[in-house]
Structure formats: structure tokens, C-alpha cells
Amino acid sequence: MTPIRLRHPQGVSTIQVNFDEDFKVQDLQQEIYAATDILPSRQTLKTGYPPIALEIVPELPISSLGLKASDQIIVSENAPAPAAPNPAPAPTAALPTPRTAPTTSGPDAVEVDGSFLIHRIVPDDNACLFASVALIFEQDMKKAQKMRQLVADGIKRDPETYNEAILGMPPATYISKILTPATWGGAIELGILASHFRTEIASIDVETGRIDQFAPSGVSDPENRCLVIYSGIHYDAATLAPMADAPSDWHQTVFPTRSADILDAAKRLADILRAKRAFTNTATFDLKCEQCGQGLKGEKGAQAHAKDTGHTRFGEY
């Protein structure tokens, strides 16, 4: 017997599977039923990254599923089939709309090959870029300060690239500021973090739909990429899950760069957020310095004020 790990709505379980020809798919379904209380008729089984639905033919041997001993099966439960309704007039024709996650609340999401790319919202606390990257690479947005330290270390290691002209201030001053929890991050930080994790970071701008791709330095063709969503003043992450309401530890956060479907899905997710006006035009929005109370206009005004005063905490009016 071979152990197979299950992820299901109640948690994580391990079942024992026999890979010989006498062990049928229906036997696997019964083992899953014993571990999850999900009836075989209502089981949806997926495996792989991104998760792909298994084609279930109960009478076939388990080898028909192409499973290996190291695989993990993601189990979800289908809703029971509704009773047949009374005949009703045919609906009028309507224009098709992009399919989103079948939920009425929670974060926005779009379907990708049977899974869902989900807008993962992080706190609006001036550390959003670092929290988003920590969520992606550490599965814990509370490790934002660790991401700040990685940026500081990256600047120290490469003073030729990250000089005063690039940083806009002496490197020591920049490092001191970026380690301060109230300081925002941007393109410089994304580039350094991409290099550290040797993973492309694709930043999707909600207002324009533009995708800025930060490639790791010294890597001509990175194998993996991750996604952050930029609203003009805030960063969030985008991750893939087998179900729209899947637990956070079910989410895939890094994707092969060869998977163009992920970038297409990210653009569709940005379309949804843009339609909700979930962005801020940084050239015209009104800001207030939370340290001295001065009113400011746009990102440039905030940057000039920070340079003149050293203040780094700003809020939107």
C-alpha cells in the first residue's frame, strides 16, 4: 500500500492506495469518502500545479488516473444536483461576461483552467508591497519586515547599481528609511526582491492594465514568476487556488513563466478591479502628511515633501 495525501475542506488526510490492477478508481473514491465524508458522486479530484481535474471513470483501474506515489489529491465537494424546475419561458439573449469566481462575497477572482486566480488583499499600512511579497514567498504577510531587510541587504551587496543617483539619496539613508515600517516600497524594491528569490515579479497596474515585469538580475530567462496587483498607492498579491474559497495554504503563489494563461488571467482580474474603480490616479490624488498635516497633491508632491522634511507617513484625503 502507498500513502497518498489529501487536501479537502476539513483539512489534510493521508489514505493508503494499492497501485495494482485490482484497485479501481471507485476503490480510491471509497477511501476518500472514509477520510472526508464526501460521497463519491459529489467528489471533484484535482492534482498537479496548477491543479488539473482528474477524469473519473469508477470502473477503471487506478492507473488510469496517472497518479504517482508522491502526488497530492485536492478534494472538493460538488453541490447536490437541484430538483428539476417547472418549465419556464426561454431566457432572452444576453451579452457574455467574463466568468468570475462563483461567490457573492470575498475577494475578486477569475477562472483559470478550472482553478481561480484570486485577489489576495493585504493591510493598507505602508508595508503592502513587502507584505504581498512575504505572502507569496513566505506564505505569511506578517514577515513584511524580513522582506525589508532583504532589500537593505541587496543594496549593501551591490553599491555600484544602487548608488545615490539611482536611490535619490545616500544608500545608507535609503537603507535606514526602507527598514522603517512606515516607508513605502516600489520598483527598486521589486527588482531587488525578484533577484533575491530568482523569480520574475509581474506587477499589474489596475488603472491601465499594464504589466511591469521585474526580472531577477543575472537570470536571462527566469523559470518562475509571481504576481502583485498595483492600485496606484497600494500593492496586493494574486494567487491560484482550486476553489474560490480555498484555505490560504492551498494557494499556489509562484508559476512557471511558460504559463501565459496566468498573465491573461491577471489582466482579466485587473479589468474587474478597474470596473470597480479600485485604483487611484497618483498624479492627481490628494494626500496629507500624517506627521505635520500638510496637504499635498499627487505622488510627486509626496516625494518632494519627503525629500524636504524626511516625513514618510502619508494618508489619502
- Per-position b or e across 77-116, b if 16+ CB within 10 A of its CB: eeeeeeeeeeeeeeeeeeeeeeeebeeeeebbbbbbeebb
Q: Which residues, in sequence order, are bridge partners of residue 135? A: none
**In this predicted structure, what is the pLDDT of residue 25?**
87
**In this predicted structure, what is the pLDDT of residue 196?**
96
Residues 6+ apart with CB under 8 A from 109: 100, 101, 103, 116, 117, 118, 119, 244, 269
Q: Quick check: bond before 50 cis, omega within 30?
A: yes
CATH code of the domain made up of 109-275? 3.90.70.80
**In this predicted structure, what is the pLDDT of residue 284?**
59
Nearest to 194 by CA among 218, 175, 210: 218
Q: Which three cell numbers stand for residue 241?
A: 487556488
**In this predicted structure, what is the pLDDT of residue 128?**
94
Clarify whether 196 is annotated catalytic.
Answer: no
| Cβ atoms of 268 and 110 closer than 8 Å | yes
Nearest to 28 by CA among 16, 46, 44: 16
Clarify whether 311 is annotated catalytic.
Answer: yes
**In this predicted structure, what is the pLDDT of residue 215?**
93
Of the listed 8, 108, 119, 128, which one is catalytic? 128
Distance CA(196)–CA(207), nearest Å, equals 28
Cite the residue boundaries of each domain of the chain with CATH code 3.10.20.90: 2-77
Of the listed 113, 124, 271, 311, which one is catalytic? 311
Of the listed 234, 236, 251, 289, which one is catalytic? 234
**What is the number of other CB atoms lying within 10 angstroms of the CB of residue 68?**
10
Q: Which residues, in sequence order, are bridge partners of residue 118? A: 109, 239
Clarify whether 125 is annotated catalytic.
Answer: yes
**In this predicted structure, what is the pLDDT of residue 236?**
95
**In this predicted structure, what is the pLDDT of residue 253?**
95
Of the listed 71, 125, 153, 264, which one is catalytic? 125
Nearest to 279 by CA among 180, 207, 201, 210: 207
**In this predicted structure, what is the pLDDT of residue 97?**
32
Q: Which residues of the chain have pLDDT under 50?
A: 81-104
Which fold, 2-77? Answer: Ubiquitin-like (UB roll) (3.10.20)
Clarify whether 289 is annotated catalytic.
Answer: no
Look at strands 224-230 and 255-256 and give their pairing: antiparallel
**In this predicted structure, what is the pLDDT of residue 127?**
92
Calculate the average pLDDT of the chain: 83
Cite the residue boundaries of each domain of the chain with CATH code 3.90.70.80: 109-275
